[in-house]
Amino acid sequence: MKNIKDYNLEELKQELINIGEKPFRAEQIFKWIYQEKIKDFDEMTNISLDLRKKLKENYTMCNYNILRKQESKDGTIKYLFDVLDGNAIETVLMSYHHGYSICVSSQIGCKMGCKFCASTGINFVRSLTSGEIVEQILAVEQDTGVRISNVVFMGIGEPLDNYDNVVGAIRIINNQKGLNIGARHISVSTSGLVPKIYKLAEENIQCTLSISLHATNNEKRSSMMPVNKSFPIEELIQACKDYIAKTNRRISFEYALAKDNNDNLDDAKELVKLLKGMLCHVNLIPINKIENGAYSKSSNESIMKFRDFLNDHGIVATIRRELGSDIDAACGQLRRKNLN
């Protein structure tokens, strides 16, 4: 059966026309699902019994079961969801003074193989559908009753390796009749799939693009991120410049600081050279050491020196606040958990 949450509004209108219904019903259905956040077709009280029956025969609602829920002392909540085919994914809800942010997964497992990331080393299973991505937000809102205001594609998976479904999900998240979260409150993070960055620039979505950079020369970046061998730094930076020119949006570069690897002032100097003049922001992440990982966290002093160097040389840089590390919910700690 088809998942009704896989369709954006235009597609759902077409689906309804295909089953002999009026397209405006799609807007009513969208409202029930994404604004009223109902879990069952029978709760759609302004839809005739007849149509509800048709909907039930043709579509599922794909409501996730919560397999596990862990709450950090800082209020961060990590969910393990059963995606209904025996697989599980993690999603994290974070609370900030400006509202609630959710970190969603885009794939079951990941192919990228970044050496510092906990999602590496577990088999890639498949990409999530648009509905399976959106469902993470609905399930968390239903469970907690909060209204989520920011969505970051920084959970398990490489969003641009699941391009169509991620863009499809963004259209549902962003649609005023859908979850109605402004594009500027949606961030897509990529390890640097250059052709997809060019493609995203053409989509006319005002979301924020985050680039996982982490190193300033090819040798070092390739040793941390195998994807760099296919798409080296020069090509990546060129794609970013094109993205900025086309969208006029500021790019966020993520740089995870690992002790004695990429955290000294020579690296900072190189970073300034690389990013000088670009409309961008650098997000410094104290690297989280993973099980058997080769990299460990830089000292607070090195991190602050690194940040100050960037700021003193015209690159706006901030240190990302760490949330949820006590429940393995911080950056790079998410994994695909086994059900048993």
- Residues lying near ligand SAH in the complex (CB under 6 A) are found at 112, 114, 116-117, 154, 158, 189-191, 212, 254, 256, 285, 287-288, 290, 331-332
C-beta of residue 90 within 8 angstroms of C-beta of residue 339: no
The token pair at 116 is 């510092």
> Minimum Å distance from CB 153 to ligand SAH?
6
Residue 110 catalytic? no
Specify the residue, 44 or 148, whose C-beta has the smaller distance to ligand SAH.
Answer: 148
> Minimum Å distance from CB 158 to ligand SAH?
4
C-beta of residue 51 within 8 angstroms of C-beta of residue 29: no
Q: In terms of DSSP bridges, do strands 251-257 and 77-82 run parallel, antiparallel, or are they unpaired?
A: unpaired
Residue 90 catalytic? yes
Specify the residue, 59 or 255, whose C-beta has the smaller distance to ligand SAH.
Answer: 255
Catalytic residue among 114, 240, 280, 331: 331
Catalytic residue among 21, 90, 132, 135: 90
Q: Tell me which residue has its CB nearest to ligand SAH.
A: 332
> Minimum Å distance from CB 210 to ligand SAH?
6
Give dist(CA 32, CA 59) in Å, integer. 15
Number of neighbours of residue 272 by Cβ within 10 angstroms:
18
> Minimum Å distance from CB 92 to ligand SAH?
11
Specify the residue, 130 or 187, whose C-beta has the smaller distance to ligand SAH.
Answer: 187
C-beta of residue 324 within 8 angstroms of C-beta of residue 74: yes
C-beta of residue 273 within 8 angstroms of C-beta of residue 217: no
Question: How far lies 236's CA from each of 104, 231, 251, 307, 340, in Å?
Answer: 24, 6, 12, 22, 40
Specify the residue, 38 or 133, whose C-beta has the smaller distance to ligand SAH.
Answer: 133
Give dist(CA 60, CA 83) in Å, integer. 13
Residues 6+ apart with CB under 8 A from 27: 9, 177
Specify the residue, 131 or 332, whose C-beta has the smaller distance to ligand SAH.
Answer: 332
Give dist(CA 198, CA 143) in Å, integer. 37
Number of neighbours of residue 338 by Cβ within 10 angstroms:
9
| Amino acid sitting at position 283 | N
> Minimum Å distance from CB 132 to ligand SAH?
16
The residues annotated as belonging to the active site are 90, 331
